[in-house]
Structure 1
Amino acid sequence: MSTAETTMSGPVHSLGRRELLRVLNRTGGTSIVDEIIVKVGTDIIEGRLLPGDDLNSVELARTFGSSRTPVREALLTLEREGFVEISAHRRPRVAPLRIEEVRELYRVRAHLYALVSREVVQVAADADIARLRVLQEQLEQAVEDDDVDRYFWINVHFRNTEAEIAGNRTLCRVLDSLGLRMLQLRHVSLSLPGRIQRSVEDHERLVRAYEDRDADLAAALTSGLVMRGLAAIERSGWTGLGSADGR
């Protein structure tokens, strides 16, 4: 696909909307700019728009019944997050992401979430662990329904809930600074054949480690879970350089 008008279909998952606006610190969430950000951002994350695809400002304005001004503001916001490239004398496009950058992001995230898991074990109340168990059950249902997008956004909510339970604000800010690009990569990984089945099994082991209050095991499991996502991307041959890369 080469332009954004071919992607304006399908509902945006409510968890996805909330997560995009939270990361971007857009607390209102009701403006036309927010609507464009959510839809274009979700299309990129869920793979309906691929690296290198053009974003047609005129068609976006027509789709959302707006002038081009809110479209420009939305795309500039997504550019700041590394989702969009805006260059002189050409249309904005979905930004590429080289595999070397992907590896760096995953390694950082693996270390950070190992720390999150240790802090969850140390500070979580029984009710907090029960919240994670409920989310695990929702993940299992999404796998049973073979709904990758729903599984992905519940997975995101699971990770955000862990960080919230850990209560380390600095750690949460650092995780958020990885921004929306990690959401895109995580969706790529979980969309690969067999990945959500392996992921839900890994999450079950992680929840049991939390229930057993085993910090070392929880940290090892969560780090391994993150790095298996990277391994899946590497095995797929994904390059992130353009929509013709065979992803």
Structure 2
Amino acid sequence: MAVESFSTASVMDLVPRQSSRRSHAVFVALQREIVLGDLPPDSALTEMELAQRFHCSQSTVREALMQLSEEGLVKRLPHRGTLVAPCRTEDARALINIRREVECGYLERVLANAGRGLVGQLRDELDAMRNAARDGDEYRLSVHDRAFHTALFAAADLPLVVPILTRCLIHNHRYKIMNSQPNRALEETAERHVPIVEALRAGNIDHLRAVLAHHISTIVDFGPDLTGRPCA
């Protein structure tokens, strides 16, 4: 099966690309399998086997693995090859705390810089999450979820901080997926973003901070439904 026809083609253009199209396709395919747990922690990845699987060169695979390493999804060890990164509770807790500090700490800048199109952009990502949930596509939902939060924070105009947030986001999603029960409530996952959009639209910074902090803190345990209700 050629890499161009791999099943992730439908989401390839949704994931930011930093390499050639062929290596990006391998990167997205492997990212999907790691995030969903199809490639479990500490799985060994060899360039030769991946090149055979994706019908591409080892240099193409190497480029994809370097991108995964930058995201912290794999560990490239001298003389030991490449291993899928661990997915530990301790790391998840630390990343959630960092993410909450990043996303909630600069909302004054978000509201000051947010253009009229930001609410519409977030609603588009929310609708895309709903569609992915209805299709049962958890990976595509996670891609749009990450895009939602990245777009919201981008309004703070702190570009050097964005890579920190994006790493937190992908590892939060991976931990949540790998530690949730089967038949996860994907539609509820999408709807959890409604209070964020509404608080942003209203321009209420205290409510936005409270709703966003709750959203992040309950990424694994959803907690009470805040949709349509003011936050205490």
Give the TM-score range, shorter chain. Answer: 0.7 to 0.9
1:168 aligns with 2:158: yes
1:11 corresponds in structure 2 to: 8
Equivalent position of 1:106 in the other structure: 96
> Unpaired runs of 5+ in structure 2?
223-232
Shift of 1:224: 1.1
Q: Which moved more, 1:90-99 or 1:202-211?
A: 90-99
Q: What TM-score does the superposition give when structure 1 sets the normalisation length?
A: 0.72
Displacement after TM superposition at 1:84 (Å)? 1.9
- The question of whether the paired residues in 1 share the 8 Å contact of 2:41 and 2:84 is answered with yes
SS where residue 37 of structure 2 aligns?
Answer: coil
* Partner residue, 2:217: 227
What is the TM-score normalised by the length of structure 2? 0.76
- Pairwise CA RMSD: 3.1
Q: Distance in 2 between matches of 1:102 and 1:46?
A: 15
Who is 1:241 aligned against? none
Match of 2:138 among 116, 136, 148: 148
8 Å CA contact retained: 1:57, 1:68: yes
Alpha-carbon spacing, 1:46–1:59, altered in 2? closer, same or farther (3 Å) = same
Aligned mates of 2:136, 2:125 — CA distance in 1:
16
- Contact persistence 1:206–1:218 (CA under 8 A): yes
State the shift of 1:203 in Å: 0.8
1:85 is paired with a residue whose SS is strand
Hey, what's the Cα distance between the residues in 2 that align with 1:141 and 1:40?
Answer: 23
Contact kept? 1:117, 1:162, Cα under 8 Å: no
**AA matched with 2:96:** Y
Q: Select the structure that is richer in helix.
A: 1
Structure 2 counterpart of 1:59: 49
CA distance in 1, matches of 2:164, 2:183: 31
SS at match of 1:50: coil
Amino acid at match of 1:203: H
Q: Compute the displacement of 1:121 (Å).
A: 2.6
Change (3 A) 1:53 1:84: same
CA contact (8 A) 1:82 1:95 kept: yes
Aligned positions of 1:1-247 closer than 5 A: 10-14=7-11, 18-19=14-15, 21=17, 26=18, 28-30=19-21, 32-87=22-77, 90-176=80-166, 178=168, 180-185=170-175, 187-188=177-178, 193-231=183-221
Quote how far apart the aligned CAs of 1:124 are. 1.7
In the alignment, the residues of structure 1 paired with residue 137 and residue 178 of structure 2 have an alpha-carbon distance, to the nearest angstrom, of 14
CA contact (8 A) 2:113 2:156 kept: yes
> Taking structure 1 as reference, are residues 110 and 200 closer, same or farther at Cα in structure 2, changes over 3 Å only?
same
State the identity as a percent.
Answer: 22
